[in-house]
Amino acid sequence: MALKNGICKMEKFIIECPLGKVVVNGCEKGIHEIQLQSDAEISEQVTTVSYKVCETPPEKTQPMKECENWLRTYFCEPWLIEDVPIPAFHHPVFETDSFTKTVLVTLLEKVKVGETVSYKELAELAGNKKAARAVGMALSHNPIPVIIPCHRVICSNGDIGNYSSGNANKLKALLLGFEMVMKQMKNAAFHADHL
């Protein structure tokens, strides 16, 4: 659904989940951004699995369908998330080679659910061990939070550090806690299957 002059024909869908309202914008080439509406009240922990589509176009592009499936799986069947395809991204940060792109792609590929990495460790993984502060700046430009898991990057001393959206500490802590529960559920299911 991209227009012939190169300008994308945008579409969006909105979901309600444990993070509050989440707005996803994209086109037929990929996801442009995920906006976390984190000014809403956020509970201290995820106590129920919830996911509701509030607004959606009549026909979604393939990347938007894949994104919706990924988010639904993440919040409703998190133990399956590693088997779900990640949608294509279509945002300027992914169009040219840059340190920001390298950091975001490295984070997506190397740091899995229930894991954390320090800014310094991520700088090393991205190929520049002296760039811990630059990693923080790169993460602040992440247009696809949750899928590109900048919430998994913490300080070397164990503090959770900053998050690019409002209600930062609460939202980041919620995601980290949710993912620890996900990991425990997956491990329990694995052990039950192999008894």
Catalytic residue ranges: 150
Q: For residue 165, give the DSSP letter.
A: S
Distance CA 93, CA 106 (A): 14
What are the structure tokens assigned to 152, written together?
A: 């998994």
CB 146 within 8 A of CB 74: yes
Helix ranges restricted to H, the chain: 62-76, 99-110, 119-125, 132-139, 168-193
Rounded CA-CA distance 124/132 in Å is 8
> 187: which 2 tokens?
């491990």
